[in-house]
Amino acid sequence: MVAYLKLIRWPNLVIIALVQYLIRFAIIESLSLPHVLNHGYFFLGVLCSISLAAGGYIINDLYDLEVDALNKPKRITIGKFIKESSAWNLYYASVIIAIGSAYLLAQEAQVEDLWMIAPLAAVILYLYAYDLKARPFLGNIIVAALSALPVFLVGVFDILPAANDENALQVSQTMQVIFAYSLFALGISFTREMIKDAEDKMGDKAAEYKTLALLLPVALFKLIIVILLFAHIVPLAYYSWDISTNDKFSSAYLVIFVVAPLIYLIYKSIMAHNAGDYKHISAALKLIMLTGILSMLIFTVSLKYF
């Protein structure tokens, strides 16, 4: 059982579920925003998201056995604790659950065509594992976009279908907030994927991957990472300053738990020399992603009680 949980990256699945339920309870229900899904159908949406993610992790490991043997030998479960055939069966089951959940969800939300998002995402994840991850930039942006998808899907399935003439402005404003968090998740995930390429250079080189970490000189690659981090810091710092007069609580949270750590990572990126250094940066970016998403709870608390 432990091996299976390790295979599907259960901590990441917990984070996905946490983020989606955070949007539901900290924003939608706490602020009495219009929505169409009851708790049962919302759970189907969460199940769809975590099933897609689990399937993506499984298929990636299935096609990455040789590379992982060099980059992350301790992480390998397929072939050691789990039969390859069992991993394939679990992958198929995950995709079927995701598609089935998406279909039922789309029927309930009365946006029938949107169920196609699930099989489309599954196909993209398969192509990524089979081929696209070996290509510069494209693989990174695909993973980043799919990482941001769970945030955006809450708005698409639960909020947008509730729109009418009376609440159109409220729904539009809520979707702007959802889009902003999706964009944050996209940017942080893309930067993290770039960092992970640098962490995995040895195995990727042996597999003849064409990642930017391998194609670009080290100095240029680091410059791109610094620019990406700076591109997050500037708008977040400006927004923190802009709201500081009326919302000191949220402003302080953003500075301490999002902006300052990103500034720290600029220094760490410049000084990085080995896989261990890049692993530290990758883990820190994952934590910043979480603290950034958790800011929606901080904003809601501030709005209601301060």
d(Cα 202, Cα 195) in Å, to the nearest integer?
Answer: 14
- What integer best gives the mean pLDDT of the chain? 89
Label residue 73 by pLDDT band (50, 70, 90).
low
217: alpha, beta or left, given left = phi > 0 and alpha = psi -120 to 50? beta
Q: SS3 for 210?
A: coil
User: What pLDDT shows up at residue 6?
Assistant: 87
d(Cα 32, Cα 274) in Å, to the nearest integer?
Answer: 49
CB 269 within 8 A of CB 175: no
Is the model's pLDDT at 71 over the cut of 70? no
Q: Output b/e per residue, 258-284; b: 16+ Cβ within 10 A.
A: bbebbeebbebbeebeebebbbebbeb
Name which residue leads in pLDDT, 258 or 62. Answer: 258
Lowest average pLDDT, out of 107-121, 220-234, 285-299, goes to 107-121
For 246-302, the pLDDT digits (tens) are 899 999 999 999 999 999 999 999 999 898 999 999 999 999 999 999 999 999 888
Q: SS3 for 134?
A: helix
Is the model's pLDDT at 221 over the cut of 80? yes
User: What pLDDT shows up at residue 189?
Assistant: 93
Which tokens hold the place of 35? 């929505």
Number of domains in the chain: 1
Q: How many separate helices (H) and strands (E) can be counted in the chain?
A: 14, 0
Is the model's pLDDT at 112 over the cut of 80? no
Average pLDDT (181-199) is 93
Could you count the other beta carbons within 10 Å of the beta carbon of residue 198? 25
Phi, psi at 93, each rounded to 5°:
-65, -40
Label residue 162 by pLDDT band (50, 70, 90).
confident
User: What pLDDT shows up at residue 223?
Assistant: 96
- For the chain, the C-alpha Rg in angstroms (whole number) is 20
Name which residue leads in pLDDT, 139 or 122. Answer: 122
CB 207 within 8 A of CB 131: no
User: What is the secondary structure of 86-132 as a DSSP string?
Assistant: HHHHHHHHHHHHHHHHHHHHHHHHT-GGGGGHHHHHHHHHHHHHHTG
135 DSSP 8-state letter: S
Domain, as residue range, for 93: 2-305
Residues in contact with 295: Cβ distance below 8 Å, sequence separation at least 6, in sequence order: 250, 253, 254, 257, 258
